[in-house]
């Protein structure tokens, strides 16, 4: 059984498609689903959510001290965008659109193959 974690930003629970924590997970306010220290957040963009994911959610995530990296993946075409926080106020963007490319996740020290992300996806 897997849990669908949420985390708190501005006293508001925010759901994400997936996330990573590198330290001991910190849970908030006696809620075993409210994670407060993600390092990486991943969102799969859809037509109905992409504007909010790119702006409103991203701005909220930026307020978390632990948050270092944001990956957004398009589901309709081969496209992945990663924003990595070098230091407060300085973000670096990487965009990969080639199916044979690799997507760096600096916060985790790994690269993910675009072929793996888009495995079983027909575009």
What is the spatial distance between Cα 69 and Cα 41, in angstroms, rounded to a whole number?
Answer: 7
Query: pTM of the entire structure?
Result: 0.83
Return the ∠ at Cα 44 (arms to 89 and 78), rounded to 5°: 100
Q: Which residue has the higher pLDDT, 18 or 80?
A: 80
* Average pLDDT over every residue of 88-104: 95
Q: What is the DSSP letter of 79?
A: -
Q: Which residue has the higher pLDDT, 4 or 64?
A: 64
pLDDT of residue 29: 65
Tokens standing for residue 20: 């990573």
pLDDT band (50, 70, 90) for residue 12: low
Q: Is 29 left (phi over 0), alpha (psi -120 to 50) or beta?
A: left
Q: 54-92: per-residue pLDDT in tens? A: 988 898 889 888 999 999 999 989 999 999 999 888 999
Q: Is 60 exposed, middle or buried (0-12, 13-18, 19+ CB in 10 A)?
A: middle
């Amino acid at each position: 059984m897997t849990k669908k974690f949420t985390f708190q930003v501005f006293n508001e629970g925010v759901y994400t498609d997936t996330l990573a924590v590198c330290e001991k997970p910190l849970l908030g306010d006696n809620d075993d689903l409210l994670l407060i220290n993600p390092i990486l957040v991943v969102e799969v963009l859809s037509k109905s959510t992409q504007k909010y994911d790119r702006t409103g959610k991203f701005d909220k995530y930026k307020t978390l001290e632990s948050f270092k990296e944001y990956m957004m993946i398009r589901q309709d075409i081969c496209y992945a965008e990663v924003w990595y926080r070098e230091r407060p106020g300085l973000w670096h963007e990487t965009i990969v659109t080639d199916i044979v490319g690799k997507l760096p996740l600096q916060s985790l020290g790994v690269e993910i193959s675009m072929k793996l992300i888009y495995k079983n996806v027909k575009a």
